[in-house]
Chain A
């Protein structure tokens, strides 16, 4: 379908009808904000990401008879969350680098899903390399400019200690190599990169040069990160639309958010999986 040829109003009307009919499905890529959901763990002398916490203000009781509400606290990088360029030192001087400054149209875009689930199953330190990307492109075509790229590992199915997979030498979870990030950012011009793990980088990402290459290259180039994503196994390799709108926090470096995808309904498997 050619976008140029379409009347935008008709296009949106068609989309609305498709959403109502179920021809376009909305897939929730978000984990529940739960006090016990893992956050990234840094050496204890550094500041730490706050866990999600919730305190009841009232619950139809003496503290407020007809209403229930809570105060909650968390970090910008708690739960399923968005990383803005200003999150990383490489992106500190990027224009529009904080969540409140990013133009809203940047949050919505086409999404390519690179399935690394088999590799991650065999190797917890599985690397997304330029070769893996080349193989994906051979099958699905070149990654279009302005795409979100998500690395599917099925890591979101892990629970408890298996999620961070911390050992004496740090966390072990899959992630991209510096070369892969350079390819995606510089040559493919992606909008952002997302993972199912606690960060956009591998558990052992500190040991690359530069350390944490996903953070370094994405944010240095003004691109975005998404992490702790869920349900990536319900997305097609191409053809879906990702919507990731962080809270509008003044000078915010990121934000927990609800990430959803619009997916053409082709009777995908695992429809009921959470």
Chain B
């Protein structure tokens, strides 16, 4: 078992906040395949299309037959720890500050032996499950976990470096009025977040779940409207220095594409909330989070965007909303690059139709708020960058990867429930 982490003490105001250092982030283009797989929490390696050899480490030509056709495939994660050591010091500043650090060699059942980080609960010679994780540099690294769950295994200090576990962290959910705010707050309370700030726009207008939301232990409702720069700046001035995980669930959507709407009023609202709202939040909260990536157990850890999967391919029935989602998606790529030096993960959670008023005429499957909230917390615990929730989102991204142009044509035949 792992020694459970203790609730972090209050910050010593006389101590300099520790600056984030990073493990080596240099990778070959081939090796970035591991990073792409880790972004979704998949353990993938190259498998030679010609001779079937599983490759490790990533490379440009097959180690057995020299074929250059090396597609990335999901690999069975089972293996055995055949050698291990604990690093006590290092020339790398990042590891030097975090020793002792356990590393080892695992013989995979799929073939190759790999060098990996090793969880403290893995026994010498023990069975392991390989997990592909993003490290603080945002690069894919392999991590050997015990084959069976162990007690408090999420609290392993090495594993915690690779994740954005909400335990003992302070979360900001940006939109209390959203239909998923309640489920998100409940999920974070269950995940032992220490404070759950929830931003509330337009307190002069009631909304149905306010009392239930306010009653969740740890929830604090604070004024925040992502369309109002002064409101975002004020809240960041107050709690920016103790926002460890920011979940942007603010969203504006109305059905319709270009021609039926006939004006740009709703489109402007969609851009104000979905795109500029994200930018305002990032400009206000980003710098403080960037500076607190290594600030102890409750360091700034992650920025979560809840996005429509139609960011990838426009659904004409929700055409204008899809466009605002695409703008937001593009901005999250910029945010991810800018937050990376601070070790703060930017996680996008994509959903298709969600179970709310604006998708009411649409048939199932729709993503329920509880399913979305569960995916957010699970994604943070796994330290992911991209999460596709529900069958519609998963199917869409699969089709997008197979051929975006084919998907574009298919989308125009899809009913978005706008009728």
A160 CB-CB contact with B under 8 Å: yes
Q: B205, A41: Cβ atoms under 8 Å?
A: yes
Q: A35, B225: Cβ atoms under 8 Å?
A: yes
Q: A163, B228: Cβ atoms under 8 Å?
A: no
B296 CB-CB contact with A under 8 Å: no
In the complex, the chain B residue whose C-beta lies closest to that of A47 is B265
A36-B223, A47-B266 given; A53·B202 CB < 8 A: no
Which residues does chain A contribute within 8 Å of B203, judged by CB atoms?
36, 160-161
In the complex, the chain A residue whose C-beta lies closest to that of B358 is A44
C-alpha spacing A167/B208, complex, angstroms: 10
Which residues does chain B contribute within 8 Å of A38, judged by CB atoms?
202, 204-205
Q: A51, B229: Cβ atoms under 8 Å?
A: no
Count how many chain A residues have C-beta atoms less than 8 Å from C-beta atoms of the other chain.
Answer: 19
B231 CB-CB contact with A under 8 Å: yes
B206 CB-CB contact with A under 8 Å: yes
C-alpha spacing A9/B399, complex, angstroms: 81
Which of B202, B204, B225, B265 is most buried by chain A, counting CB atoms within 10 A of its CB? Answer: B204
Q: B229, A161: Cβ atoms under 8 Å?
A: no
B227 CB-CB contact with A under 8 Å: yes
Chain A interfacial positions (CB closer than 8 Å to B): 35-36, 38, 41, 44-45, 47-48, 51, 53-56, 160-161, 163-164, 166-167
Which residues does chain B contribute within 8 Å of A45, judged by CB atoms?
254
C-alpha spacing A161/B254, complex, angstroms: 25
Nearest chain A CB to B2 CB, angstrom units: 47
B99 CB-CB contact with A under 8 Å: no
Q: B227, A36: Cβ atoms under 8 Å?
A: no
Q: B230, A161: Cβ atoms under 8 Å?
A: no
Q: A166, B202: Cβ atoms under 8 Å?
A: no
In the complex, given contacts A35-B230, A47-B265, what are 19 additional A-B residue pairs having Cβ atoms less than 8 angstroms apart? Answer: A36-B202, A36-B203, A36-B231, A38-B202, A38-B204, A41-B205, A45-B254, A47-B263, A48-B269, A51-B228, A54-B229, A55-B229, A160-B203, A160-B204, A161-B204, A161-B205, A161-B206, A163-B204, A164-B205
Count how many chain B residues have C-beta atoms less than 8 Å from C-beta atoms of the other chain.
Answer: 18
Nearest chain A CB to B287 CB, angstrom units: 16
One digit per residue, 1 when the CB lies within 8 angstroms of any chain A CB and 0 when it does not, for chain B 227-239 equals 1111100000000
C-alpha spacing A16/B203, complex, angstroms: 44
Q: B205, A35: Cβ atoms under 8 Å?
A: no
Which residues does chain A contribute within 8 Å of B204, judged by CB atoms?
36, 38, 160-161, 163-164
A-B contact pairs, 27 of them (CB 8 A): A35-B225, A35-B228, A35-B230, A35-B231, A36-B202, A36-B204, A36-B223, A36-B225, A36-B228, A36-B231, A44-B357, A45-B254, A47-B263, A48-B269, A51-B227, A51-B228, A53-B228, A54-B230, A55-B229, A56-B229, A160-B203, A160-B204, A161-B204, A161-B205, A163-B204, A166-B206, A167-B206
Which residues does chain A contribute within 8 Å of B254, judged by CB atoms?
45
Interface residues of B in 322-361 (CB under 8 A from A): 357
C-alpha spacing A38/B225, complex, angstroms: 13
Which residues does chain B contribute within 8 Å of A44, judged by CB atoms?
357
Which residues does chain A contribute within 8 Å of B228, judged by CB atoms?
35-36, 51, 53
List the 3 shortest-distance A-B pairs measured between CB atoms, nearest first.
A35-B228, A38-B204, A160-B204
Nearest chain A CB to B231 CB, angstrom units: 6
C-alpha spacing A159/B202, complex, angstroms: 12
C-alpha spacing A56/B228, complex, angstroms: 12
Nearest chain B CB to A182 CB, angstrom units: 32
One digit per residue, 1 when the CB lies within 8 angstroms of any chain A CB and 0 when it does not, for chain B 195-235 equals 00000001111100000000000000001010111110000
C-alpha spacing A58/B254, complex, angstroms: 33
In the complex, the chain A residue whose C-beta lies closest to that of B228 is A35
Nearest chain B CB to A192 CB, angstrom units: 26
Which residues does chain B contribute within 8 Å of A56, judged by CB atoms?
229
Nearest chain B CB to A236 CB, angstrom units: 31
In the complex, the chain A residue whose C-beta lies closest to that of B231 is A35
C-alpha spacing A36/B234, complex, angstroms: 13
Nearest chain A CB to B251 CB, angstrom units: 13
Which residues does chain A contribute within 8 Å of B206, judged by CB atoms?
161, 166-167
In the complex, the chain A residue whose C-beta lies closest to that of B201 is A36
